[in-house]
């Protein structure tokens, strides 16, 4: 039984390496259109969120239309709960390349712009297995990277 598992695993690795390619990014020509994203949203019951970093409200023009006012974002920036309540946010911005950090917070660089950086362009706020399966299948068909955000923890803070 172990031999069969290793052979199957070996076959999977060689097949993966043969067809390995970079994941599709928003700057690629084959990135899904707004209509494609809307169709996904309908199929998963409206659980799709276009990423709006909370720190966006603290930048001129609020480039990503953050719903959290800047003063609320700044007051709560170091709160785990603040980030946990926002599917598009991360508790440790270092893991998102310190993107869109509110002025005055650790990691902020004076004069920097608010960008999506390493944050996902879209988030599926899935609450059931069916939505998870649909979204993962949709992303896999389009070669889009899947990142899972959960409520667990590990010692590196991710």
34 CA to centre of own chain: 17
Which residues have C-beta within 8 Å of that of residue 138, sequence separation ≥ 6?
40, 43
pLDDT given for residue 64 in this prediction = 94
pLDDT given for residue 20 in this prediction = 53
Q: What is the pLDDT of residues 33-57, one digit of tens each?
A: 999 999 999 999 999 999 999 999 9
Cβ contact 99:67 at 8 Å: no
Q: What is the pLDDT of residues 115-143, one digit of tens each?
A: 988 888 999 988 899 999 999 999 999 99
Q: What is the pLDDT of residues 55-69, one digit of tens each?
A: 999 999 999 999 999
11-25, 69-83, 122-136, 144-158: which range is least confident on average? 11-25
Buried b (16+ CB within 10 A) or exposed e, 42-72: ebbeebbeebbbbbbbbbeebbbebebebee
Label residue 18 by pLDDT band (50, 70, 90): very low
- Reduced 3-state DSSP string for 33-52: CHHHHHHHHHHCCCCEEECC
CA distances from 108 to 43, 88, 102 (A): 38, 19, 7
Label residue 2 by pLDDT band (50, 70, 90): very low
């Amino acid at each position: 039984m172990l031999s069969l598992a290793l052979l199957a695993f070996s076959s999977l690795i060689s097949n993966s390496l043969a067809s390995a390619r970079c994941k599709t990014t928003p700057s690629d020509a084959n990135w899904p259109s707004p209509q494609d994203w809307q169709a996904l949203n309908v199929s998963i019951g409206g659980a799709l969120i276009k990423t709006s970093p909370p720190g966006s409200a603290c930048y001129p023009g609020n480039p990503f239309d953050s719903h959290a006012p800047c003063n609320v974002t700044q007051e709560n920036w170091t709160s785990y709960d603040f980030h946990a309540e926002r599917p598009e946010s991360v508790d440790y911005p270092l893991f998102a390349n310190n993107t869109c950090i509110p002025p005055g917070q650790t990691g902020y660089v004076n004069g920097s712009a608010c960008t999506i950086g390493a944050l996902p362009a879209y988030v599926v706020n899935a609450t059931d297995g069916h939505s998870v399966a649909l979204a993962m299948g949709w992303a896999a068909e389009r070669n889009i990277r899947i990142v899972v955000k959960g409520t667990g923890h590990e010692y590196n803070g991710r």
